[in-house]
């Protein structure tokens, strides 16, 4: 089990919320989401008092992060992953359908990364962590950090929209050749761009479309909600589909296809593709990318 991490707050100009201040100071809770999770599980104290997400931090405060409760060592998740790229700083993997990226579940990508990746040889090596999310039913390319500094840097790149992502989806109904969907999601500005790659006629659905998607923002379920909002839901979407037209038993036809970004430490331009699943190719056999 990892030891308790301790931190004394240096002189700061004004009080700041723990949830904002604490990002990056603990090696076992690098990201904002990881810190929030630790706070909600009562694993963080400030001056020996259990903290909340609203706790204010002042100069000289003693902040402690306690390790999670030990899990039964006999319970081990074995789940091989396809590794697309890996170095000492980061890794790019294929996420299959039917598994969460992270969260409270035992079966998550976050829990199986350590057994699938080589340990980093760098001084700030830490437990590998995904730095963005894909839905449970979505397949495709996923980026993870292997050091404290790379996790922080990659998170910042996503916040600054310096990571370009392309998805492919199969949608229902006759669509325009391209378009922009800019409806708000949960009260926040959101934008997704799409390009129609190929359409086929369907007795049940009218038309099925292979669509290239470029999310400009990164809201939860953004692509699924945006396509549903223009009456072209993704095939197999049980949450946002049109009830009589929901395809069952084949999963969601949404795939994270490419990632493009500049390596935050080597400065090298990186581009990765994750091949379309076979169920896409059965519908659109002429698609060769």
Quote the CA–CA distance of 181 and 179 in Å, as a whole number.
7
The whole-model pTM stands at 0.75
Q: 223 near 214, Cβ under 8 Å? A: no
CA distance 236 to 240: 9
268 assigned to some structural domain: no
User: Can you tell me the distance from the alpha carbon of 69 to that of 88, in angstroms, rounded to the nearest whole number?
Assistant: 29
| CATH classification at residue 40 | 3.10.290.10
Structural domain includes residue 271: no
Helices of type H across the chain: 18-21, 32-40, 109-116, 148-159, 222-229, 278-283
Query: Domain range holding 59?
Result: 5-65
* 287 band by pLDDT with thresholds 50, 70 and 90: low
**% of the chain residues with pLDDT over 90:** 69
| pLDDT score for 236 | 94
The 10s digit of each residue's pLDDT in 87-139 is 999 999 999 999 999 988 889 999 999 999 999 999 999 999 999 999 999 99
- Is 265 a member of any domain? no
Tell me the CATH number at 187.
Answer: 3.30.2350.10
Domain presence at residue 95: yes
Q: Are strands 139-147 and 254-262 parallel, antiparallel or unpaired?
A: parallel
Task: Indicate if 59 and 46 belong to the same structural domain.
Answer: yes
Counting other chains too, the contacts that 13-18 makes at CB distance below 8 Å and 24 or more residues apart are 15/56, 15/57, 15/58, 16/56, 16/57, 17/53, 17/54, 17/55, 17/56, 17/57, 18/44, 18/46, 18/51, 18/52, 18/53, 18/55, 18/56, 18/57, 18/63
| Number of domains making up the chain | 3
> How far is the C-alpha of 128 from the C-alpha of 112, rounded, in Å?
9
Residues 174 and 240 in one domain: yes
Q: What is the pLDDT of residues 40-60, one digit of tens each?
A: 888 999 998 898 988 999 999
Question: For 237-263, how does the pLDDT look when each residue is reduced to its tens digit (9 = 90+)?
Answer: 999 998 888 888 889 999 999 999 999
């Amino acid at each position: 089990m990892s030891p308790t991490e301790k931190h004394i707050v240096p002189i700061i100009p004004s009080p700041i919320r723990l949830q904002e201040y604490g990002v990056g100071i603990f090696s076992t809770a690098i990201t904002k989401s990881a810190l929030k999770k630790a706070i909600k599980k009562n694993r963080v104290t400030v001056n020996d008092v259990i903290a909340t997400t609203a706790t204010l931090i002042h100069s000289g405060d003693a902040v402690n992060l306690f390790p999670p409760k030990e899990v039964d060592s006999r319970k081990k998740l074995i789940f091989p992953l396809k590794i697309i790229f890996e170095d000492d700083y980061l890794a790019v993997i294929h996420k299959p359908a039917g598994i969460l990226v992270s969260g409270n579940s035992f079966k998550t990508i976050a829990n199986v990364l350590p057994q699938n990746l080589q340990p980093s040889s760098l001084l700030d090596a830490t437990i590998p962590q995904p730095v963005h999310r894909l839905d449970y039913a979505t397949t495709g390319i996923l980026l993870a950090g292997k050091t404290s500094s790379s996790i922080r840097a990659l998170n910042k790149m996503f916040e600054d929209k310096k990571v370009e992502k392309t998805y492919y989806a199969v949608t229902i109904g006759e669509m325009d050749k391209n378009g922009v969907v800019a409806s708000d999601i949960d009260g926040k500005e959101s934008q997704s761009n799409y390009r129609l790659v190929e359409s086929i006629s369907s007795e049940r659905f009218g038309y099925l479309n292979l669509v290239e998607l470029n999310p400009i923002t990164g809201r939860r379920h953004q692509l699924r909600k945006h396509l549903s909002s223009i009456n072209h839901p993704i095939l197999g979407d049980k949450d946002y589909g049109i009830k009589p037209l929901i395809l069952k038993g084949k999963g969601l036809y949404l795939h994270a296809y490419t990632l493009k970004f500049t390596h935050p430490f080597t400065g090298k331009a990186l581009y990765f593709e994750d091949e379309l699943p076979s169920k896409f190719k059965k519908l659109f056999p002429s698609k060769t990318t």
